[in-house]
Structure 1
Amino acid sequence: MADEKPNCKVVLANNIAKSLLEEVHAGLQKIDRKPLLVGFLASADPAAKVYADWTGKTCEENGFQFELRTLDREDLEDAILVANTDPSVDGIIVYYPIFSSRQDQYIQQLVSLQKDVEGLSHRYIFNMYQNIRFLDPEEKTKKSVLPCTPLAVIKILEYLRIYNTILPYGNRLYGRTVTVINRSEVVGRPLAALLANDGACVYSVDIGDVQQFHRGEGLRKRRHEVVEKPGWTLENCLPLSDVVISGVPGEKYKVPVELLREGAVCINFSSERNFDSGKVKEKASIYVPAIGKVTIVVLLRNLLVSHCAEQDG
């Protein structure tokens, strides 16, 4: 028995999504109509179409209305502005990439704050990085919407009880060390900031460098700060990390499992498998191979929050 290898628990996104859906369904019971999500598809990317179809299916299965509007990208700006002022539309999602340039960032800012269920508006991004959790910090009645994929990872960590609920809200990752492999503006960097704002020491690993996100010793700072780690690589980060989260968009990339700390929690948010599923089970205590289904449910949750805020307003 002494030579027997420890068991790695593989946790599927579908099981995590179910618990979140219960919360969403309870919220739906309290409102008088099905919230309407409008999706704009002006992208030629096949993955965008798959995501749009998946969004629609999940909406309809769970008591929401969904309307996909497929159009030429040159007509997208006007179409978003019309939807912004349509009282029947509760949320707007735009499927990227469209122009694959800074013009996509401009499109993100066109969606009204009240209907931005992806949390991509400048106000939401500002609040996220500044660790401001409400649109009305004094009254604390309107939550600031967080981007769906980073929030999905947070919800997974809560489900796995990586968050310590004995500690005060906002400090529940204190003492945890996390490595995030990916520093994209859409997922990797926001995720590192969110984790650090909750108290974790986060190593953000990109192609050329490593940055450390943290709130200072003893959580002295209200929001995270970023420190460059010259000369650091994954070899420095992985042996220190309780949790390793990877989202490298390439089928050839694999996290070097031999560097993982024994019993680490490993989460993959790339569409490709960043962990060798056989090897990672020999080292990790928990492995989450994909998060897509949780991301979709988080989108519905954001839609419900936006709808209720609009009704209250």
Structure 2
Amino acid sequence: MPARLLTGAPVVEDLHREIETRLATLSPDAPRPTLALLVPEDPSARAYAKAIRKQFTKLNLNIRAIWLEETASEAEFVRLVKQLGDDASITGILALQPLPRSIPRLLLANLIPPEKDVDGVSFAQQGRLALGQPDIAPSTPLGGLLLLRHYGIEIAGHHAVVIGRSPVVGRPLALLLLAADATVTICHSRTPNLAEMTRQADILLTAAGHPRLVTADMVKPGAVVVDFGVSVIDGQLVGDVDPAVRERASALTPVPGGTGPVTTAVLACNLLHLAGLWPDWPPR
């Protein structure tokens, strides 16, 4: 029997309803939570910015988009982030990847104020996550876990294998899975015998950004497969998981329509938390 498709749409609907309920507590003249969105020239980043704007506009959340030229200097970037950090009208700051070449990757983690860090990239927020006490969790991995929770897929006591170790998805995903009482294995580009590791997974989560990396023979029969990968081939979005996996897994997130929409909805939830409208977010 083909795998059950774990689509993101019903999860997004649930989150949107809760967001709208919390926004309704604001007085009519109160300022709306506002996201400062730093967008580089990269096409994938601009596509993601478009998706964020679409959801945020639907929710009546404000976005201040700022375009980052590829020629932007490190000093210009530092001034911009500090200016946004000091701006009382800005609730949260998100810098999409990849940043211009002149900007060191770790600069943002050191620069962004934790109280305006809407995607958990600052050293302070990453440290809280590592200690199992997240204040803001990165939206993509948290969205994946919320999707599993929505469909009643048990995490505690199961073996979760994560493909990918980036600080944006793979590493925080592993920490969130540990907090949910999974046994976690992290694989990456230097892992020998990758298929041997993935065939042990009760839940296989891939964030490698390598199209169709995971083939059917790499999946244990009946496993749950969560695909965070997004690549473009011949103008079509594809994930890290080959379509043939659907005949072997028990459940699978599609690409597109799986984890992606949930990521953007969780970003909005994070923004409401920073605005003080959702104190008990993220869910434990």
Question: Please, what TM-score do these two structures have when normalized by structure 1?
Answer: 0.78
Q: Supply the distance in 1 between the matched residues of 2:44 and 2:207 (Cα, whole angstroms).
A: 16
- Which secondary structure does the structure 2 equivalent of 1:207 belong to? coil
Q: Please tell me whether residue 288 in structure 1 is matched to residue 247 in structure 2.
A: no
1:31 positional shift: 2.5
Q: 1:46 — aligned with what?
A: 43
Contact 2:130 2:175 (C-alpha < 8 Å) held by counterparts: yes
Q: Which residue of 2 aligns with 1:226?
A: none
> What are the within-5 Å matches in structure 2 for residues 56-135 of structure 1?
56-72=53-69, 73-74=72-73, 75-100=76-101, 103-133=104-134
Which runs of 5 or more structure 1 residues have no equivalent in the other structure?
1-5, 134-143, 164-172, 210-231
Query: Could you tell me which amino acid in structure 2 is paired with residue 289 of structure 1?
Result: P
Distance 1:309 1:80 in 2: 24
For 2:199 and 2:86, locate their aligned partners in 1 and report how far apart those are by CA, in whole Å: 51
Q: Residue 175 of structure 1 corresponds to which residue in structure 2?
A: 157
Partner Cα separation in structure 2 for residue 10 and residue 162 of structure 1: 13
- CA gap of 1:101–1:201, structure 2 versus 1, over 3 A, is farther
Distance 2:228 2:106 in 1: 22
Do residues 248 (structure 1) and 223 (structure 2) align? no
1:155 CA displacement? 1.0
Higher relative contact order (CA closer than 8 Å, sequence separation 6+): 2
Aligned pair count reads 262
Unaligned runs of 5+ residues in structure 2 are 232-238, 280-284
**SS of residue matched to 1:270:** coil
Q: Identity, % of aligned pairs? A: 26
Answer whether contact 2:108 2:122 (CA < 8 A) is retained.
no
Structure 1 residue 300 corresponds to structure 2 residue 265:
no
| Inter-partner Cα distance in structure 1 for 2:264 and 2:174 | 21
**AA matched with 2:131:** Q
CA distance in 2, matches of 1:185, 1:94: 14
Which of 20, 45, 55 in structure 1 is aligned with 2:52?
55
Runs of 4 or more, structure 1, over 4 Å off, are: none
What is the CA RMSD across the aligned residues, in angstroms? Answer: 2.1
Could you tell me how far apart the structure 1 residues matched to 2:159 and 2:168 are?
22
Question: 2:68 & 2:122 partners in 1: Cα distance?
Answer: 22
Contact 1:111 1:121 survives alignment (8 Å): yes
Partner of 2:235: none
The Cα of 1:282 is off from its aligned counterpart by 1.2
How high is the TM-score relative to the length of structure 2? 0.85
Q: Is the radius of gyration larger for structure 1 or structure 2?
A: 1
Query: Partner amino acid for 1:8?
Result: A
- 1:263 is matched with which residue: 209, 219, 222? 222
SS of the counterpart of 2:189? Answer: coil
Residue 305 of structure 1, CA deviation? 0.3
CA distance in 1, matches of 2:44, 2:176: 26
Q: 1:25 to 1:92 in 2, by over 3 A?
A: same
User: Which one of the candidate residues 154, 176, 180 is aligned to 2:145?
Assistant: 154
